[in-house]
Chain A
Amino acid sequence: MTSLLILFLGAIVVLYYGINKPEGKSLLMTVILLLAALSSLVYDLLTVKNRNVLGWLTEYVPENMLIWNFNSIAFSIVLVLAFLLVLGLFSRNNYIGADLLGLMLFSVCGGMLMTSFSNLIMLFLGIECLSIPLYVLAGSKKSDLASNESAVKYFLMGAFSTAIFLMGCAFLYGGTGSLELESISRATSMITHLGIKSNLIFSGIILLMAGMLFKISAFPFHFWSPDVYDGSPNRTTVFMATVVKIAAFAAFYRLFNEGLGDVKNWWGVTLAVSAGATILFGNIAAIRQSSFKRMLAYSSVAHAGYMLMAILALPQNGFWALLVYLIAYTSSAVSVFYLLDRTSGENSNFSFDNFNGLGKQSKWLSLILIVSMFSMAGIPMTAGFAGKYGLFSSIITSYPWLLYAALIGSAISIAYYFRVFKHAFFSEDGTLVAWKIGTMEWIFLALSLTITLLVGCWPAVITLCK
């Protein structure tokens, strides 16, 4: 709760301070705010009483419809860290004034509500609070038609999915008599033990699932994401690909695996089919792209498919696998988007050719490109491998066919992840203009590289905090 208050009040201060000088010290203030929130969260994590990731079996004390147990604090820490990485890498080249920073902070507040909700009302508020600033951020490059299009598309799709989500909440409330996650969990498990088939709850779960799949852009509801990712300014795209995805997956995991885990036989197969289709579709569509940014958008659809496996897994496996994968995906995606942002320069053309000659220009940037791409493809010694290993092993007994789909998808993904190497290292006609990299950018690039390699070589480092 302290971290949430810090971020919310801080956002107001940042906005107020930036009325006349939008680019003044607002970035520094935001970074300090995030560090304060992060330290408060780490303190909470160290002092949390219940260190069991299976929150339901032991003590469960929600406070003001929010719960700060081990799971939610861990997800919140990853969320704030991801935002810090995004800010550190994208503040130099892109315009991020106090107005955009304020909106991003509000969005992160919504994300923290989503990671720590214990009541469906809180979850709904969190989703809205996360999305509404995002619609504006997607359209924040006002003279660019693609940006306007992506904002309108995202807004209409987001509003539609929220309506479906709310209808699911209403059905679930009708069937269980409560909006509190724990009561829903108890009511649903009691109904299954008694052998009653409640169509009301079942329809509610399916509608809730459709709403959440919209938010994470999984297969039947993925169609908006490539256009929105492609059209938004880079700073917004990376924010959507990392921070928003972390919040949405944390909420999805907590709602379905923790809240509705006892009735998994009702929704498990549906979600598994969606996950398999997402993986295959995302990877196959990504091969055909000539724009690097659009390729990353489709690959993020595919990554959402992998992460859906964690929701199908048993809680003790699923939680750690999801956490490791989120960290792995975030740390590599942030660096790749940074390279995309800087290689494309000032124009809005994001083809693979922009990377021509990167290898000659800087060996450190080449190393970062190679490690990030290896991590996204899931090559051993990088965090992506640790994440995929955890996810795949967590569902191997329950959904073996999903594992085959995921393995085929991973094999396909190597084709397009390694395609950029051809341009970066073996292309003669390098038109790349060297850019100046500030100290702050080096620090954050090194940080994301360290996370990727450390988690890859020693995945147990994540579980140390237990």
Chain B
Amino acid sequence: MLLTILGLPPAFLLLSFITILCALYVVTNTNPVYSVLALILAFFSISAHYVLLNAQFLAVVNLIVYAGAIMVLFLFVLMLLNLNKESEPIVKMGWHIGAAVTAGLLLVTLAAALHKSSEQIMRNPAEDIGLVKNLGKVLFTDYLVPFELSGILFLAAMVGAVLLGKKQTNSKENNNYSETSSQ
């Protein structure tokens, strides 16, 4: 009965329920590895949302990039850092309460502002824009320049990663280092 009152498709409600449950598990669980696994599940259900919105490309990319690559990276970092109870930084209770109140206020404000705004949404005329074919067409015609310019972004990120990862060989910089570290 509830489902018909809300006027939302049952699939959407089920998926949202799973997503929120997983997200809560991520936040409340004390074991980081379980948190990451729950996060992967949350990403899967978000991908299912994309499928419901007819955005198949986004759904697949979300799975490959987030659930695939980034989460594996997360797990590796967690295992390398070897997190446990003892190494956990102690955060005062006041910070927890403050953060919860602030985030809750933002949630309440946004929910109050937006709960009846679905009629204000401008409908996109092309409903099947999320299909791979249409998206590709738009990406290589209308959005060609931003697409190319994102190349600068990735190049910059790569150069930055190399710069941070490489060994320091420059003598001038090393001199500065030894003097700063000797203080």
Contact = CB atoms under 8 A, between A and B. Distances in A.
A182 interface: no
Interface residues of B, number: 38
B1 interface: no
Nearest to A135: B160
A336 B163 CA distance: 28
B3 interface: no
B113 interface: yes
A436 interface: no
Interface string A189-205: 00000000011111100
A99 B178 CA distance: 21
A103 B156 contact: yes
Contacts of B177: 141-144
A140 B170 CA distance: 13
A110 interface: yes
A109 B159 CA distance: 15
A199 B160 CA distance: 40
A121 B170 contact: no
Interface in A122-159: 122, 125, 128-129, 132-133, 135-136, 139-144
A199 B120 contact: yes
Given A97-B170, A129-B153, A199-B114, A348 B180 contact: yes
Nearest to B180: A348
B84 interface: no
Interface residues of A, number: 51
Contacts of A459: none
Contact of A174 (B110, B121, B170): B121
Given A143-B177, A144-B177, A175-B120, A65 B146 contact: yes
Contacts of A64: 144-145
A176 interface: yes
B156 A121 contact: no
A432 B121 CA distance: 64
A12 B143 CA distance: 23
A201 B160 CA distance: 36
Contacts of B168: 142-143
Contacts of B79: none
A136 B164 contact: yes
Nearest to B150: A125
B152 A121 contact: no
B173 interface: yes
Contact of B122 (A119, A140, A177, A346): A177
A348 B183 CA distance: 9
B165 to A, nearest CB: 10
A347 B183 CA distance: 8
A65 B145 contact: yes
B110 A203 contact: yes
Contacts of A66: 145
Given A174-B121, A199-B113, A136 B163 contact: yes
Nearest to A113: B149
A110 B145 contact: no
A102 interface: yes
A121 B163 contact: no
Interface in B108-122: 110, 113-114, 116-117, 120-122
Interface in B47-82: none
Contacts of A348: 180, 183
A22 B170 contact: yes
Interface in B148-183: 149-150, 152-153, 155-157, 159-164, 168, 170, 172-173, 175-177, 179-181, 183
Contacts of B124: 177
B60 to A, nearest CB: 21
Contacts of B152: 8, 106, 109-110, 129
A65 B149 CA distance: 11
Contacts of B173: 95, 141
B117 A198 contact: yes
A53 interface: no
Contacts of B172: 23, 95
A95 B173 CA distance: 6
7 contacts: A95-B172, A125-B153, A141-B176, A143-B177, A200-B114, A346-B176, A347-B183
Interface of A: 8, 12, 15, 22-23, 64-66, 95, 97, 99-100, 102-103, 106-107, 109-110, 113, 119, 121-122, 125, 128-129, 132-133, 135-136, 139-144, 171, 174-178, 198-203, 346-349
